Structure 1
Amino acid sequence: MAVYKDNATGTWRVLYRFTNWKGERKQTQKRGFATKREAQAWEHEAMLKQGAKLDMTFDSFFEVYETDKKQRVKQSTWESKGHVVRTKILPYFGNRKITEIEAKDVIAWQNELLAYRDKRGKGYSSDYLKTIHAQLTAIFNHAVNFYNLPYNPARRAGTIGTEIQKEMDFWTKDEYLKFAEAMMDKPRSYYAFEMLYWCRIRSGELLALTPADFDFKKQTVTISKTFHRSKGKDIITSPKTVKSNRIVKMPPFLCEELQEYIHLLYDIKPTERLFTVTKSYLIHEMDRGAKQAGVKRIRVHDIRHSHVSLLINMGFSVLAIGSRVGHEAEKITYRYAHLFPTVQTEMAEKLEMERMIKGDANGKGV
């Protein structure tokens, strides 16, 4: 590396030469440093990162962590993680050398988070505190697992907050039908919510659907992608999980409705999005329709719960429901156990019968 002064601007720049992981010689530079000291400090940090030496600041190691991890998660997931780190972690630990951060420093940081209050006197939720701490723990874990940091101070300090199971709310079939009737004044909204309710797909999956995803002869829709907006750009990626890739069987009436909707769009191409709206549009329409229909307000995501509730009431098994909605059977059982009101009673009755059978058998053998 070398540090130079740009006489034209009066600022300093660093010329950085290095060998990448392929063994290729590369060169880059960083301009705009106000002083030579700042340029040299950046040069020192860059050398440490290139050599994977932990004698660097937490801020510099986060850049290493970002390079290592960013391409392994969805962009929307990384944006969420990155926001938490940049707003809640780097302001506190950014300038500290990562090897010098101890458990007591993490505890002091935790206490600041716990003491925070906004203008209304409200602190961070317990769930959010757990999320923030999990991000710090993940960064230190990466340093321990791959860069020989002796131990994870965040893990040693212990977590804060608890993960609170989100309250599950849902509509009955009658409530949904009232809502759907209120949506009929806007065909796009009506058909969008029909897909959400009767197929139990995620809103991002809905917004990524194209005509090519439907096979009306087989009465199916293929879920293979999801949509989100990031910094004003429309982004299509693979679904949330591997199991989320699935083919959903549609009821005949819904096939007819979607064919009607596609015809309304005139010359739409097979790979063009059917619902060119955003998640905020769906939320707005949800509010409008619920108020107009006189039904309770639930989240767009809760329509998924409403679909599962309907299938449970129709008597379908956990395995069958899990296959349709893209979840493991165990997860369906855990999340929706309270919607199986007769299961515990049936278990108790069968256990009673089993006990009596065995008792009779033993009695005959005496």
Structure 2
Amino acid sequence: MPTYKDEKTGFWYCKFVFTDWTGKRKQKKKMGFKLQKDAKEYERQFLSKTSASCDMLFSEFMELYMADCKARLKPTTYSGKEFLIKTHVLPYFGDKPLNEITAVHIRNWQTKLISDPSNYSETYLKTIHNQVSAIFNYACKFYKLPENPARQCGAMGKKKADSMKFWTIDEFKLFIEAVKNKPTSYAIFNLLFWSGMRSGEMLALTLNDFDLEANTVSITKNYARLNNEDLIMEPKTPRSKRIVTLPPMMSDVIRDYATRLVDYQPDDRLFAVTKHYLKREMDRGCKASGVKVIRIHDIRHSHASLLIELGFSPVLISERLGHENIETTLETYSHLYPNKQEQVADKLQSIF
């Protein structure tokens, strides 16, 4: 690895030939290193990444992996992945060569996270592990890593929480009465509870998305806020684009809310607030009403549980919630059908 010193500036530089991903030979020159060892290290890292060698450091590999992710993921998805990796993965594996990370390393890393004083939830631990496993799968597929050590040692955490929190209709009525003094909150939480839509879908809505005569709302987009910028993006999945029928009283709530808006254009966001506002109002309403605190997303679960209690089929619920397939609905809400087997047996007995 030849390096050179610029006698005029006193800084070191490296100059070398490499083969790019198209097979062409090119020359690379990098200047401005205070120390010779820094120039040598830059050349080593560059050639390691360019040659797709698995003996590169995990941190170097992650630069390649994240660049690929950034080109393919939604900004909000990428931001979440980046935060998780920087917080829970790079500090542990960053300085290790990619091909020297073993199942034992992964197991020790899992133990550290499981016993962390932060007491991460089982579902969050599962999410972190899945991210790491995806990283090594990528290395196996595109960089010829022999095996995935994360798969070899087994997962941690759980896919689903042990219990799902949701409000009953009586709890929701207590809550909505407590936030009724703010028209925006009253309209938002009513819409979330009676439609089952995601909060990002709700925050992206315009008045033009509603047909208040037909009592429907068209869900075609999703809202997120990233780096102090409002983003309107495609929905979570293709099936998330849907038309949801609302109870007529919900159309009345939207009409009343819209008449209170000043200088509003029908293509503007109907609810010009953020998820931070939703969380703050959720806490206020729970404290004032005395109902248990749940997540904003749990209002969606509350809607689904209400539909199940009313006897609607999983197929209809799946379509209404915009799930990609009915399996998602069944996996998420199967535990809310505690007495269905007894009903089947009773029906069969009556026929007998």
Please indicate the TM-score interval, normalised by the length of the shorter structure: 0.7 to 0.9
* Identity fraction in percent: 46
What is the letter of the counterpart of residue 172 of structure 1?
Answer: T
C-alpha separation in 2, matches of 1:151 and 1:17: 31
Structure 1 residue corresponding to 2:294, chosen from 298, 318, 329 = 298
Q: Which moved more, 1:200-209 or 1:262-271?
A: 262-271
C-alpha separation in 2, matches of 1:247 and 1:207: 16
Task: State yes or no: 1:113 paired with 2:113.
Answer: yes
Distance change (3 Å), C-alpha of 1:208 and 1:10: farther
What is the letter of the counterpart of residue 99 of structure 2?
Answer: T
Q: Secondary structure at the match of 2:89?
A: helix
Task: State yes or no: 1:343 paired with 2:340.
Answer: yes
Q: What is the CA deviation profile of residues 213-255 of structure 1, one whole-angstrom value per residue up to 9, with x for unaligned ones? A: 2223432211122122222222222122222111111222222
Give the structure 1 partner of residue 326 of structure 2.
Answer: 329
Give the structure 1 partner of residue 63 of structure 2.
Answer: 63
Q: Which moved more, 1:287-296 or 1:299-308?
A: 287-296
Q: Is the 8 A contact 2:305 2:336 kept in 1?
A: yes
C-alpha separation in 1, matches of 2:9 and 2:110: 43
Q: Secondary structure at the match of 1:239?
A: coil
Q: Secondary structure at the match of 2:230?
A: strand
C-alpha separation in 2, matches of 1:89 and 1:349: 53
Distance change (3 Å), C-alpha of 1:11 and 1:194: farther
What is the letter of the counterpart of residue 326 of structure 2?
Answer: A
Distance change (3 Å), C-alpha of 1:338 and 1:217: same
Q: Which moved more, 1:260-269 or 1:180-189?
A: 260-269
Give the structure 1 partner of residue 349 of structure 2.
Answer: 352
Give the structure 1 partner of residue 194 of structure 2.
Answer: 198
Distance change (3 Å), C-alpha of 1:267 and 1:2: farther
Measured on the aligned residues, the alpha-carbon RMSD in Å equals 3.0
What is the letter of the counterpart of residue 287 of structure 1?
Answer: D
C-alpha separation in 2, matches of 1:339 and 1:189: 28
Structure 2 residue corresponding to 1:308, chosen from 283, 304, 307 = 304
Give the structure 1 partner of residue 248 of structure 2.
Answer: 252
Shift of 1:188: 0.9
1:52-131 correspondence runs (5 A): 52-116=52-116, 118=117, 123-131=119-127
Q: What is the CA deviation profile of residues 106-132 of structure 1, one whole-angstrom value per residue up to 9, with x for unaligned ones? A: 33333433454x3xxx54444333333
Structure 2 residue corresponding to 1:162, chosen from 147, 158, 163 = 158
Shift of 1:67: 2.0
Q: What is the CA deviation profile of residues 17-55 of structure 1, one whole-angstrom value per residue up to 9, with x for unaligned ones? A: 878767899998766644232122122212222232323
Q: Secondary structure at the match of 2:223?
A: strand
Larger Rg: 1
What is the letter of the counterpart of residue 79 of structure 1?
Answer: S
Distance change (3 Å), C-alpha of 1:39 and 1:70: same
> Unpaired runs of 5+ in structure 1?
357-366
Q: Which moved more, 1:27-36 or 1:213-222?
A: 27-36
Q: Which moved more, 1:250-259 or 1:198-207?
A: 250-259
Q: How many correspondences in the alignment?
A: 351
C-alpha separation in 2, matches of 1:6 and 1:235: 48
What is the letter of the counterpart of residue 145 of structure 2?
Answer: L
C-alpha separation in 2, matches of 1:58 and 1:111: 20
1:108-257 correspondence runs (5 A): 108-116=108-116, 118=117, 123-165=119-161, 167-257=163-253
Q: Which moved more, 1:320-329 or 1:195-204?
A: 320-329
Shift of 1:180: 1.6
Q: What is the CA deviation profile of residues 111-165 of structure 1, one whole-angstrom value per residue up to 9, with x for unaligned ones? A: 433454x3xxx54444333333222221111111122111112222223333342
Structure 2 residue corresponding to 1:274, chosen from 249, 270, 274 = 270
C-alpha separation in 1, matches of 2:292 and 2:217: 30
C-alpha separation in 2, matches of 1:87 and 1:50: 26
Q: Secondary structure at the match of 1:336?
A: helix
What is the letter of the counterpart of residue 235 of structure 1?
Answer: L
What is the letter of the counterpart of residue 178 of structure 1?
Answer: L
Give the TM-score taking structure 2 as reference length. 0.87
Q: What is the CA deviation profile of residues 243-299 of structure 1, one whole-angstrom value per residue up to 9, with x for unaligned ones? A: 211111122222222122223223322332111211121111111112222323222
C-alpha separation in 2, matches of 1:271 and 1:22: 46
C-alpha separation in 1, matches of 2:350 and 2:260: 59
Q: Secondary structure at the match of 1:110?
A: helix
Shift of 1:190: 0.9
What is the letter of the counterpart of residue 258 of structure 1?
Answer: I
Distance change (3 Å), C-alpha of 1:75 and 1:317: same
C-alpha separation in 1, matches of 2:8 and 2:186: 62
Distance change (3 Å), C-alpha of 1:135 and 1:186: same
Shift of 1:89: 1.9
